[in-house]
């Protein structure tokens, strides 16, 4: 997929492309640095190149591909207890329910197989615009967070979905169980950065990146000690929900990293689940909504402590979404 443009006024190359293609700033930077952009027939890797009037810009988008996988036996063994469920698939996108304890993509510290490894093992064509380790990945979830994710199977789909992330026309609603009920529905706007005293954690830091989250009350436990809440993110910072909820002295059950000290020893992970995803199909522009079933252990806890059998039937997805309608 190639696109050609004529420069009508002076500008930086990266800024010019941001005005003419549906891609995030990071993706535009990667396209340039990886040699997919030409100016007057010559490839350039200078993102800040000063353009002149009447120059011709060509963007040669890389093709999506089925990439070589790691050792197949290693992947199968690593993922044997992690059931990735496909919610929706067509030739452009794949929507999955990611299990907890599964890392989305490779990093130097990652030792096990990842969701990207699983996708490649299934011979799924994936976008390549975000680099080898992140093929197909438009947005991510923490390793310990379960729930709904969309994967781009083509570069065109990836670019358009990334644009939706930026303009907030795509997003998710989360469910979490916390150790102390909220006093009321609330919005938290506090900057987040790496914790200066613990590199494994993020923290509220005065000069950190702007972050905004909304939290709504859903249901109290039978003993009124715990609460099921819904969360919506307006920004996408690492560990954002966990950091913001702990900043008001609430903690997600099982989240020992951010201060949970409850007596529920049987919980071996934190109860945070990306429940609902909304987006516009990157090709047809159809508005779409997807729901990821709540994991069995979290569902069992809600049945035991909240007396909520058949939780997916009782939870009104549209009600959760509409409950955030006054938040902006």
Q: For residue range 160-189, what is the model confidence (pLDDT) as tens digits?
A: 998 898 888 999 999 999 999 999 999 999
Relative to beta strand 272-280, strand 146-152 is parallel
Task: Provide the 3-class DSSP secondary structure of residue 155.
Answer: helix
What pLDDT is stored for residue 308 in this prediction?
A: 67
With 0-12 CB in 10 A as exposed, 13-18 as middle and 19+ as buried, what is 204? Answer: middle
Residue 163, Cβ neighbours under 10 Å: how many?
18
As given in the structure block, the two tokens for residue 168 are 């907030």
Query: Over 70: is that where the pLDDT of 328 sits?
Result: no
Contact 302, 267 (CB under 8 A): no
What pLDDT is stored for residue 258 in this prediction?
A: 93
Task: Provide the 3-class DSSP secondary structure of residue 98.
Answer: strand
Please provide residue 243's backbone torsions phi and psi, each rounded to the nearest 5 degrees: -70, -45
What pLDDT is stored for residue 199 in this prediction?
A: 82
Which of 91-100, 116-125, 144-153, 252-261 is predicted with the least confidence, judged by mean pLDDT?
116-125
Phi-psi region for residue 131, left (φ > 0), alpha (ψ -120 to 50) or beta? left
The reported pTM is 0.78
Q: What are the residues whose beta carbons fall under 8 Å from the beta carbon of 38, sequence distance 6 or more?
A: 44, 57, 58, 60
Q: Exactly one of 117, 142, 179, 255 is catalytic; which is it?
A: 142
Q: For residue range 270-301, what is the model confidence (pLDDT) as tens digits?
A: 999 999 999 999 999 999 999 999 999 998 89
Q: State the pLDDT confidence band at 109, using cuts at 50, 70 and 90.
A: low
As given in the structure block, the two tokens for residue 276 are 């609902």
Residue of 323 and 146 predicted with greater confidence: 146
DSSP letters along 225-280, please? S-EEEEEEESS--TTHHHHHHHTTT--BTT-GGGT---S-TT--S--EEEEEEEEE
Rg (CA), the chain: 21
Query: Over 90: is that where the pLDDT of 246 sits?
Result: yes
What pLDDT is stored for residue 149 in this prediction?
A: 96
* Mean pLDDT in residue range 140-150: 93
Q: For residue range 48-57, what is the model confidence (pLDDT) as tens digits?
A: 889 888 888 8
DSSP 256: G
Query: Over 90: is that where the pLDDT of 93 sits?
Result: yes
Active site residue 142: yes
Q: For residue range 187-231, what is the model confidence (pLDDT) as tens digits?
A: 999 999 999 889 889 999 999 999 999 999 998 999 999 999 999
Measured at the CA of 123, the angle between CA 120 and CA 128, to 5 degrees, comes to 55
Displacement of CA 158 from its chain's centroid (Å)? 13
CA distance 253 to 260: 6
């Amino acid at each position: 997929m190639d696109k050609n443009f004529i420069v009508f006024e002076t500008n930086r190359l990266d800024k010019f492309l941001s005005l003419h293609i549906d891609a995030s700033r990071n993706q535009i930077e990667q396209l340039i640095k990886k040699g997919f952009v030409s100016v007057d027939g010559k490839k350039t890797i200078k993102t800040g190149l000063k353009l002149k009037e009447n120059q011709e810009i060509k963007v040669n988008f890389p093709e999506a591909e089925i990439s070589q996988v790691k050792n197949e036996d290693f992947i199968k063994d690593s993922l044997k207890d992690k059931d990735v469920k496909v919610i929706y698939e067509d030739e452009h996108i794949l929507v999955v329910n990611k299990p907890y304890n599964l890392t989305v993509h490779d990093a130097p510290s990652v030792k096990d197989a990842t969701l990207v490894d699983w996708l490649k093992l299934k011979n799924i064509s994936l976008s390549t615009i975000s680099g080898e380790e992140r093929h197909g990945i438009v947005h991510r979830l923490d390793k310990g967070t379960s729930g709904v994710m969309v994967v781009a199977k083509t570069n065109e789909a990836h670019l358009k979905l990334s644009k939706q992330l930026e303009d907030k026309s795509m997003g998710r609603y989360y469910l979490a169980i916390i150790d102390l009920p909220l006093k009321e529905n609330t919005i938290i706007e506090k900057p987040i950065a790496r914790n200066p005293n613990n590199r494994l954690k993020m923290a509220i830091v005065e000069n950190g990146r702007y972050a905004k989250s909304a939290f709504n009350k859903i249901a109290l436990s039978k003993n009124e000690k715990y609460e099921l809440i819904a969360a919506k993110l307006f920004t996408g910072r690492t560990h954002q929900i966990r950091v913001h909820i702990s900043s008001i002295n609430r903690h997600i059950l099982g989240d020992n990293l951010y201060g949970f000290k409850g007596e529920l020893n049987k919980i071996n992970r934190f109860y945070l689940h990306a429940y609902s995803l909304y987006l516009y199909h990157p090709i047809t522009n159809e508005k779409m909504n997807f729901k990821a079933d709540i994991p069995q252990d979290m569902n069992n806890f809600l049945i035991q402590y909240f007396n909520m059998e058949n939780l997916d039937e009782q939870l009104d997805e549209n009600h959760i979404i509409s409950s955030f309608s006054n938040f902006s």
